Structure 1
């Protein structure tokens, strides 16, 4: 491990249209090969589709989806007395949100569908209703942490 001091947290500026840091974070995770304008266009289109389908504020739906997928515990491999154990660890809020966004977008990319916009719309709606692949991933991690809770002291 590095002995230098920990780096300062970077302040993420909110996006221009919705004035939300969460939207900017999701766009940064969605972006590939530096094409941020394309990522913004896709995500804003997703938000408009969510608004059409649910008649609710799309930011609230996105926030609810991220909070539903956000894990409270994760498992990490630790070497304990010669064998590798899966040790459950609690997760900070920021790390949990980053994991949730990553899992939701991975589930979007795995979905079978016509466009990424429709896949994102459906996955965010499913996650806000506590169903979908991202929720299943969270439940698998929680189940592994529950099974290995005996090693929590390491």
Structure 2
């Protein structure tokens, strides 16, 4: 490699929960640089979750994120004219980022009035082990399991 690895940016903790992971989630949620709006939407969704669930909204969100994070993924690799789907372990930071992006993506695709309601519904569904983000994780794991025979091609 010609270049050295870039320095990791330090993410500030969010004002309500004091967790940098929440700020990372809001950064993924943000559109067109509107971070204040993204924080408002996230906190509104957390208030909706707080009303509907017995445990705290923060714990529900953490549980949803853990449930949506994939452990393995498949990577395409061309070997001798054939393309194989090779299952590989995922780096811990990539796991978290992928889980966040899936929750946000499928919250945007949900039916509902406001985005806060959609996000709250996706968080509650993911914390129960349901929802589209968890389904995507299970599909990814199933694909990795079915291609386990090609694991010896891993680099």
TM-score, length basis structure 1? 0.96
Q: Distance in 2 between matches of 1:75 and 1:9?
A: 26
Q: Distance in 2 between matches of 1:3 and 1:66?
A: 35
Q: Tell me how many residue pairs correspond in the alignment.
A: 153
Q: Distance in 2 between matches of 1:144 and 1:3?
A: 35
Matches for 1:117-128 after TM superposition, within 5 Å? 117-128=116-127
Q: Distance in 1 between matches of 2:77 and 2:129?
A: 31
Q: List, as ranges, runs of 4+ consecutive aligned residues in structure 1 with deviation greater than 3 Å.
A: none
Q: Which residue of 1 aligns with 2:109?
A: 110
- Do residues 133 (structure 1) and 107 (structure 2) align? no
Give the Å deviation of 1:5.
1.6
SS for the counterpart of 1:77 is strand
Q: Which residue of 2 aligns with 1:62?
A: 61
**Unaligned regions of 5+ residues in structure 1, if any?**
none
String of CA shifts for 1:94-123, please: whole Å, max 9, x gaps: 110100000011110111111110000000
SS for the counterpart of 1:86 is strand
Q: Which residue of 2 aligns with 1:74?
A: 73
String of CA shifts for 1:116-144, please: whole Å, max 9, x gaps: 10000000000000001001100110011
Q: Which residue of 1 aligns with 2:90?
A: 91
Q: Distance in 2 between matches of 1:29 and 1:68?
A: 18
Q: Distance in 2 between matches of 1:82 and 1:73?
A: 25
Q: Which residue of 1 aligns with 2:23?
A: 24
RMSD of aligned alpha carbons:
1.0
Q: Which residue of 2 aligns with 1:49?
A: 48
Q: Which residue of 2 aligns with 1:151?
A: 150
TM-score, length basis structure 2? 0.95
